Structure 1
Amino acid sequence: MPSHASALVDREDLRQQVDGRLRSVLAEQADVLARISTDAEPLVDAWTQMLVGGKRLRAAFAYWSWRAHGGRPGTAEATALVGVGAALELFQAAALFHDDVMDRSDTRRGIPTAHRTFAARHRDSGWSGDADQFGLSSAILLGDLSLVASEDEFLRAVHEMPSAQTDPARRLFTQMRTEVTVGQYLDMHAQMLPWTDDFDADERRAREVVRSKSARYSVESPILLGAALAGATTRQMEVCSAVGLPLGEAFQLRDDLLGAFGDPATTGKPAGDDLREGKRTLLVVRAMRALDPGARTRLASLLGAPDLTAADVDEMQQTIRATGAPEEVETLIETLSDSALSALDASGLDGSAAETLTALALAAVQRAA
């Protein structure tokens, strides 16, 4: 994350407070698991690794939305919002553990993914059975642990707040988790479908995946959660969606470009990672639409193919660039961002907090990792 974005998350000591809360959760979980069995210790190590170094953008969107809707620092409610931010980070960790399994990813943030780490532990220890299956199963269970912890942390954070604020927030938190789970399925389902000439349907599916799997839980839901916990009106919540959904789409479309063309040294993933995984992103759909049948067949044969070489990835990148699809996605990112920022500018929210929210929005779509 760019240094200016990191500085935004550091405002009002938010990152340090969220990180502190996460350390407390992990310490509590370490005690629980140790009482069950000392053999569970590697789970805590892997869980800690996943939670270290996150951008904390979701926590920041929730907190600064709460501030922009009248929340005040240094209060008990501010402490509650830190807990909500930690719950969002725990939920993201759960989603990432599961996502890495489904995508068969080798690395995240430049280090081996959890399922690869546990598979290596199995092999190095000379255990019996299938090492890869052990790794996959361990990562799935880690995701489940983090999902349960996210629920516990959310409920603990808001339990003393008025029900008029916490009831809608709880519904939002539940809805967010359902949307991400369904979005994961839709993403997987889209990759299984054969390519046809129905690019309108492909684009519809790609946009549905963007909205359900990422846009809402990355940006819209955190902004709505912060607003709800500040007691926002129905109209204010509508404005939050008008800001959060297009901004979340732009956020994920930026991820799609980075997944195809990002610098591995910055993203922490192999070059062309989304192309290696065969992701049916809007970028790829737009490229396929622009290609002639022969080139389309060639690109389809490479997307997600096992044992791709660096030359194969480079060929896909060059093919997609030549179609102009990256520029089309950049234009869409700009259009969506402008829509979100216009809605935020017209919202009439509290000045300095709204300025921070605006700066966070820009950082989310202008990042390089």
Structure 2
Amino acid sequence: MKTTKTFSCSLGELATRLGATLVGDGERRVSGLATLSDAGPDDISFLANKAYLKYLPATRAAAVLLHPAHVADCPVARLELDNPYLAYAELSRLFDPMAMPQEAGVHPSAMVAEDVSLGANVRIEAQAVVERGAVLGDDVVIGPGSVIGADSSLGAGSRLYANVTVYHGVTIGERAILHSGCVIGADGFGFAHDGARWHKIAQLGGVIIGDEVEVGSCSSIDRGALGDTLIGDDVKIDSQVQIAHNVQIGAHSALAGCVGIAGSTRVGRHCMLGGGVGLSGHLTICDGVQVTGMSLVTNSITEPGVYSSGTGAMQNALWRKNAVRFKQLDDIAKRLSRLERDARQS
């Protein structure tokens, strides 16, 4: 699938912008971004993964972003750089039709409290609700059906897509992106049990989200019980992620889909949690930790590195045999300890 043609630029201009070495006609203009196999003569493409090298010789693109190691197979103009995937990321934003300037204003069907503070060029779309005391910075976009609770604030350049819910007392930094269906600031899971029934604990804290944070669709970030739930700058959160009350996530960390983090856990900076990872509550994960998909972390991690748990998929018959052996590990370990002790004594 090609991008919608909303942007046009010469190859020379792109090379300067990306810091790339251009081999080809600098006056040639491109107006789309596409894959190697889909690109036409008005498109620019990229090669960032060697798995797609087989498509390079036959590409019809006007030019290709690639690493110098792959220039021999390129039949068209090229922009050479060390990190073509990073360059592709920048190009994608240039060709993004949603990044085009949109008309500011408040839709007639939106409900905005009288004391709301609106910055310059704010856009509030149909059926959105902005409650009392909210503050929206310059160039904020509130999508249709979204709700901004009382005394919450959004920094300049932030965007909420349709049907996002931001509860009361939430602070969101600049250039944040919140996708449809995500909920920021709902009550954390706090209850006390008297032996017969549960009693709700009021969640009195808030949520503070830093600059350039992105939250995927249908993800939830709960408000703190007393202090705040904290999400650092440049954190990227995928869809269907659950972040419980009083969790702290350090800057530049990334969480893939279906991650679940229990209450009061602290995740360091530059951490990456794979899809389906679960973190138990009240843990500390140091900076620079990567946890691979479907892992369960039940103890704090104090050394950076890559961590995994669980077992990979295998044929069911073999898995059933191994599952039986898992239950025997404790007995096997005790027998081994006795054998080692006897060997030392003999």
Normalised by the length of structure 1, the TM-score is 0.26
More helix as a share of residues? 1
Instruction: Find the structure with the greater CA-based Rg.
Output: 2
Q: Which has the higher contact order (CA 8 A, sep 6+)?
A: 1
More strand as a share of residues? 2
Normalised by the length of structure 2, the TM-score is 0.27
